[in-house]
Amino acid sequence: MPANLPPEYFGAEKTFKQATTPQEKISALEALIATIPKHKGTDKLRGDLRRKLSKLREETTRKKKAGRGDLYTIEKQGAAQVSLVGFPNSGKSSILKTLTNASPVIADYPVSTVLPLSGMMTFEDIQFQLVDLPPIGNESTDGWVSGILRIADVLMLVIDLSKDPDSQVKLLLEQLREWKIPITNRVEGTEGKGDLIYKPVILAANKSDLSGAEDRLKELRQRYGTRYPVVSVSTIHNKGIEKLRTMVFESSHIIRVYAKEPGKEPDIDTPFTLPQGSAVLDLAELIHKDFVKNLKYSCIWGSTKFDGQRVQKDYVLHDRDVVEYHL
């Protein structure tokens, strides 16, 4: 075993050993590899783990092709995947139904969601995948629920304003820490720290139409508003729904970019989506590998000083930029 492995490695190693489903093992192994410092003493360990990861991915792919896919995995679709996290009867399924085309079971009994259910949420000209999951704290489902949360791009914590919001947030965050799922925190400045991918968190304060909800919402914002965005929602009265859509987009940290051929209008119906900070060359690689090899220069409409400005390959793109490639 190489020397100087950080404490995070041993925690991630334990999580990997406890993983049960193929997707959970893949996610845990990815997190484990990210904890290993890069130096000569760790080259063999990193290589062994990467080979193990590659083998797991190949086995999972073969099972899917053979029609034996895991019931407890959700293939990513759309611009980003958002997982809904909460306790029984917090209203996760109602939010999914209001925001998407999905038809979940909505009931007063505690666990009406027993399998992952996804739906596509439209935001302007792109779509996000929302995934409803069984409530946190169910031993029979927590194993594969944690696996889905590890691969999600954004976590939406659904808080029931008819109950104590502080207790709900504390318990949910505690469970995420126990599962070693890294999340962003504005106060601690954890976003983008190290090799780990910290997941953005949205607090969806649901049932804002109920008596006493306003005071509980105020308390929630006072305690957590500086750390995470808080959106007040009522699915009954359709309040806060559009703001929640916008917050999903903002929290995903992606941009929309439109490509055009010289002398033609841009295709504004099907934007490309990329992470914030992506450059012209990143979009070229996404369009076609030959673009990277043959690219001479690009022109930008949108974020540049003037329309059609010629830019370098490393020019950082912004939301709604139009890019014209010259090969």
The 10s digit of each residue's pLDDT in 189-241 is 665 565 567 899 999 999 999 999 999 999 999 999 999 999 999 999 999 99
Question: Under a CB-based contact definition with an 8 Å cutoff, are residues 124 and 51 in contact?
Answer: no
Question: Collapsing DSSP states into helix, strand and coil, what is residue 205?
Answer: strand
In the chain, what percentage of residues exceed pLDDT 90?
49
How many angstroms separate the CA atoms of 76 and 118, rounded? 10
158 or 53: which leads in pLDDT: 158
Out of 3.10.20.30, 3.90.1150.10, 3.40.640.10, 1.10.10.10, select the CATH number for domain 254-326: 3.10.20.30
Domain boundaries for CATH 3.10.20.30 within the chain: 254-326
- The bridge status of strand 230-232 relative to strand 201-206 is parallel
How many angstroms separate the CA atoms of 124 and 248, rounded? 12
Residue 251: count other Cβ atoms within 10 Å of its Cβ: 21
Name the pLDDT band for 171 (thresholds 50, 70, 90).
very high
pLDDT score, position 68:
41
- How many Cα neighbours within 13 Å face the side chain of 136? 27
Beta bridge partners of 121: 128
pLDDT score, position 109:
43
pTM: 0.74
Name the pLDDT band for 38 (thresholds 50, 70, 90).
confident
How many angstroms separate the CA atoms of 99 and 53, rounded? 35
- Contacts (Cβ under 8 Å, ≥6 apart) of 122: 245
Pick the closest to residue 152 from 134, 132, 175 (CA basis).
132
**pLDDT, average across residues 246-268:** 92
Pick the closest to residue 298 from 287, 277, 269, 271 (CA basis).
287
Class level of CATH domain 81-252: alpha beta
Domain boundaries for CATH 3.40.50.300 within the chain: 81-252
Dihedral-angle region of residue 124 (phi above 0 means left; psi in -120 to 50 means alpha; beta otherwise):
left
